[in-house]
Amino acid sequence: MAAELEKSLGIVVPQNVIEKKIPYCEKFKCETPMDEDQRDALVDELFYLDSMMLSRGLLDFDEVNLSLVQWFAYDALGKEEAMALRIQVAQEFSREGKSETLEKFVQN
């Protein structure tokens, strides 16, 4: 995937990012633990909500796994503009180690 990003968009992903390992968090303590049945019920409810939003045309299939930040960016800017900005920011970081576009966007 990193090679494809570089070839198609000119975005160089550093090797330390490609090989990054996220350590397991042992310090997290849930204040209201769920048992297996409760977790299963929550997952079922979330899938139900996604399917309702999909069937009503409120959500595109490609948007089901978006993070909240991506979802809000798509909503505020429109999908095409948000994607274009994301690529532009990644290209700037790849070339310069920073992004003036992102800095300007965050300031506004």
pLDDT tens-digit readout, 44-90 = 998 898 888 888 888 777 777 788 788 888 888 988 999 999 999 99
pLDDT at 44: 94
pLDDT at 17: 82
Q: Is the pLDDT of residue 106 over 90?
A: no
Span 7-42, pLDDT tens digits: 888 888 888 888 888 888 888 888 888 999 999 999
Look at the pTM and tell me if it is higher than 0.85: no
pLDDT at 101: 92
pLDDT at 98: 92
CA distances from residue 67 to 38, 70, 71, 98, 102 in whole angstroms, order as listed: 23, 5, 6, 22, 18
Structure-token pair, residue 14: 């550093």
pLDDT at 26: 83
